[in-house]
Amino acid sequence: MAEVMVEVTGLFLAIVGWCLESSCTNSAVWRVHSKADAVVTSSSQYEGLWITCASNSLGAIQCQRYKTVLGLPGYVQTSRALMIIALLLGLASILLSVLGLKCTKMGSMTEQAKGKLTFTAGLLFILSGVCVLTAVTWYAARIVQEFNDPFYIGTKFELGAGLYLGWAAAALVILGGGMLCGSFRRASTPRNKRSVEITQKVY
């Protein structure tokens, strides 16, 4: 019963994290125009992986997608790829987890096979979280680097809410994946001990 609770809790955390990953990927607030040295602070500008937006003092917001792909900085393109990979890995992990849960029945699948599915799903969840963590951390590092560079002549930005969303998503997905992997080990260890005890009694 405890193993089932660990699996269900891990899957729940991972699914919540995956939803946050999706929100983070679509977020337009990965970085926000810094107002530290700005003369006019009534307008704001913020950017995401796919879109850039600007708002004025009246509250009007105008957004447009990036007009080029090859012209974007390398770290933006890499972050895009990592986030897409993370979402695909997470989706595959959810499907495998549902099939591998002990509280679900799929044909004549044995508990050992279910355990392997759950363990694989946990590893994929962890890999998904690592992809998100790499993307948002690299993106944030570039923002901080440009902000602190006195010779940088471009527009300076600060960390946006989308990055914090990504860090939260990565933490939940990695935690959920770890719980799924741990549930497989918890389930397999007692059986191994019993088989050893039975073997010792026979001999």
Chain centroid to Cα 59, Å, comes to 31
pLDDT at 194: 45
Q: What is the pLDDT of residues 38-78, one digit of tens each?
A: 555 667 888 999 999 988 877 788 889 988 888 888 999 99
User: End-to-end alpha-carbon separation of the chain, Å?
Assistant: 32
Cβ contact 133:141 at 8 Å = no
Q: What is the pLDDT of residues 24-41, one digit of tens each?
A: 999 999 999 887 665 556
Q: What is the mean predicted confidence (pLDDT) over 149-167?
A: 89
pLDDT for residue 109 is more than 80: no
pLDDT at 40: 56
Alpha carbons within 13 angstroms on the beta-carbon side of residue 180 total: 35
Please name the residue that has the structure tokens 């979402």.
87
Cβ contact 97:11 at 8 Å = yes
Chain centroid to Cα 197, Å, comes to 42
| Residue 83: band (very low, low, confident or very high) from pLDDT cuts 50, 70, 90 | very high
The CA-based angle 188-191-193, given to 5 degrees, is: 110
Q: For residue 146, how many other CB atoms are within 10 A of its CB? A: 15
pLDDT at 115: 83
Q: What is the mean predicted confidence (pLDDT) over 111-116?
A: 82
pLDDT at 203: 46
Q: What is the pLDDT of residues 143-153, one digit of tens each?
A: 999 888 888 88
Residue of 42 and 126 predicted with greater confidence: 126
Q: What are phi and psi of 151, to 5 degrees?
A: -100, 0
Assigned CATH for 14-190: 1.20.140.150
pTM of the complete model:
0.83
Q: What is the pLDDT of residues 168-178, one digit of tens each?
A: 999 999 999 99
Question: Shortest CA distance to 136 belongs to which of 182, 86, 197, 99?
Answer: 86
| Residue 105: band (very low, low, confident or very high) from pLDDT cuts 50, 70, 90 | confident
